[in-house]
Amino acid sequence: MKIALVTGGSRGIGKAVSLKLASDGLHVIINYRSNDVEATKTLEIIKENGGSGELLKFDVANRGEVRTVIDGWKAANPEKFIEVLVNNAGIRKDNLLMSMDDSEWDSVINTNLNSFYSVTSSVIKEMMYNKSGRIVNIASLSGIKGLPGQTNYSASKAGMIGATKALAQEVGRRGMTVNVVAPGFIHTEMIEGINESDFRKLIPLGRFGKPEEVANVVSFLVSDSASYITGEVISVNGGLYT
């Protein structure tokens, strides 16, 4: 059974990805930072549906904590390795740059971009040693197009896209793939406060997306069917921006 680690895997897109990968037959490690109730609920759904999973609590923005917890998991599971990584954890703290304070910039960059380095660097050596690995990074429309009021968020997601393209070239000869899924407006807590009616008319498909629609793309990218796809950015945005 392949093992997948999904950061921010207890809610929103991360929850949908965790449930989908478990239904595909993977053992899913659900990472979360603080909400024990939601994380436990997600794991219970997986098990109720006959899937396999476990919880792994750490703050992706804390590099020392990331490495300590993942190293602890590896020590407890010496004959296993994380073969699939979905870097999904992310936050928004929107503000105009002229009004943005240091904490709004730093917290978004640390959680959304620096976590990519911290988590990926903690599992990639085992992938390379075993010549097998799938990494999917959840970026955003903001990282491709840029959105006003989101210079911090756009920078973090654009950085993730650039890192993906570079890493895909570094590890390709080891049989590994690295790709990006870039959602647009998806019905999750991340878009709370956004007036849907204002944006829905801009979307060619006329609606916001569902987390499961993002999860289905992730499922494909980590499967054997996508073994010749790497360094790509796949948008899931209803045609809002292409």
CB 192 within 8 A of CB 215: no
**Using CA atoms, how far apart are residues 3 and 21, in angstroms rounded to an integer?**
10
| Residue 108 identity | V
Q: Are 89 and 113 in contact (CB under 8 A)?
A: no
Q: Taking a C-beta distance cutoff of 8 angstroms, is the pair 87, 113 a contact? A: no
d(CA 156, CA 90): 9
Mark whether 228 is an active-site residue: no
The H-or-E segment that residue 117 falls in is helix 115-130
In eight-state DSSP terms, residue 240 is S
DSSP state of 84: E
Chain centroid to CA 4: 12
Question: Which entry of 32, 117, 129, 153 is annotated as an active-site residue?
Answer: 153
Q: Can you give the length of the chain in residues?
A: 242
Q: E strands, 101-209, where?
A: 133-138, 176-183
Amino acid identity at 18: S
DSSP state of 148: T
Q: How many Å separate Cα 125 from the centre of its chain?
A: 19
Q: Active-site residues: which are they?
A: 153
